[in-house]
Amino acid sequence: MLMTSCLKRIFIFKSFLFFFYTGTVAAQDSKGVVEEHKSALIERLQKERMSLGTSATMAPNDEASKPGVPLKTGKKVTARGYRVQIYSGSNRNDAYDAQARFKQVYKDLNTYVGYEQPNYRVKVGDFRSRSQAQALANQLKRDFNAVFIFNETINVEY
């Protein structure tokens, strides 16, 4: 009796596997039609994003190849992002000298001089991603001593 019930279970299990296997093979062999459903909003956002990448909105000449040079269309907002610190010290004149040296090379990047007692800090750039900030920081380590990346509120221009 125990043997027959065990054989029945094995037969049912094998039958199930047989039907399951033949069903999946048949499903793979049949040619179906794939329908693509697009949201109108997503399509509109994709077109808007593509229009931002056109040559009309890119920075002129050599400036576009520098890391962190943003595309500009005139809309300004704030967001969380990254800035690169190039100076930290108690001497105000040294802070403004560091800012001037940076601006000679990177005219399109914003600079920010801040004071938190007892130090002046010069931070540069408004980067949305850490990788953009890191690319600039790697270049600046040759010319500036106190190069660090900070996560803070940045100004974004679209």
* Nearest CA-CA partner of 102 in 145, 73, 56: 145
Q: Tell if the pTM clears 0.75, that is, is over it.
A: no
- pLDDT tens over the chain, length 158 residues: 555 676 777 778 777 666 666 555 545 555 667 677 777 887 888 777 777 754 433 444 555 555 555 555 667 888 899 999 999 999 999 999 999 999 999 998 999 999 998 999 999 999 999 999 999 999 998 888 889 999 999 988 77
Please name the residues in contact with 151: beta carbons below 8 A apart, sequence gap of 6 or more.
80, 81, 82, 130
Q: Which domains does the chain have, with CATH numbers?
A: 75-158 (3.30.70.1070)
What pLDDT was estimated at residue 73? 61
Task: Report whether 134 contacts 67 (CB < 8 A).
Answer: no
Answer yes or no: are the C-beta atoms of 111 and 98 closer than 8 Å.
no
Cα separation, 118 vs 113, whole angstroms: 14
Tell me, what's the pLDDT at 81? 93
* Range 140-149 contact pairs with CB under 8 angstroms and sequence separation of 24 or more: 140/84, 140/86, 140/102, 143/101, 144/86, 144/87, 144/98, 144/102, 146/85, 146/86, 146/87, 146/88, 146/89, 147/84, 147/85, 147/86, 148/84, 148/85, 149/82, 149/83, 149/84, 149/85
Report the distance separating Cα 148 and Cα 106, nearest Å: 17
